[in-house]
Structures are given as structure tokens and as C-alpha cells.
Amino acid sequence: MKKLNRRNPQSGKKKIWALMMATLLFLQLSVSAYAVDIDMSPVNSATSAIGTLVAVGGGAWGGWGLVSTGFALKDQDGSGIKTGLLQLLGGVCIVGAGAWIGSLG
């Protein structure tokens, strides 16, 4: 009986390629920003705006999770309560990520 090879030989190459490209992109952005004396205020304001948008979206997501948790509590639906609480927790994490992105600027 032939033994099946379950590992994809291309997956390792893809991971290495993605890591190399991410490193190259990071180095390109960091070197080009500090190599020349350029005004970074547009980048800072864009980063702040993106962080605000992400935080607002996370707040809306968490708010809807709170609403759905309330409806599930009213109906005494256990899976709905769990889903609503997880959505609320996800919204809190997204708000935190938005605050972190906003602090980069």
C-alpha cells in the first residue's frame, strides 16, 4: 500500500516568500521615510484618521454585540448569548487596535 504524503511541499516556500516580501516592504518604508528630511504630517494625520475609523467601527461592532446579547438573554438562548458576548469582545479588541493605530501617528 502506498503511503500518502499529506504535507504540501509548496507551503514552506510560500511562507518563506511571504516573510521575505514583508521584511523587504518594512525595510523599504522605514528607510525611505528617514533617508530624506520629508514632512511626515500627512502620514501622521492619515494614520490618526484610520485609527479613528477603526475604533468607531469596533465600537459599532461591540455595540451590536451588546444588543444581540440583550435579545438573547431575553429569549434565554444560550448560543445567542455566547455569540453576542464574543462579538462584544471582538469589538473591544478592534477598538484597542484602532487606538494603537492612532497612536502610531
Domain ranges of the chain: 44-105
Please state, in angstroms and rounded to a whole number, the distance separating the CA atoms of residues 64 and 86. 11
Tell me what pLDDT residue 24 has: 79
- 9 pLDDT band (50/70/90 cuts)? low
* Cα-to-chain-centroid distance, residue 25: 18
Q: Which amino acid is at 16?
A: I
Please tell me which residue, 17 or 79, carries the higher pLDDT value.
79
Mean pLDDT in the chain? 82
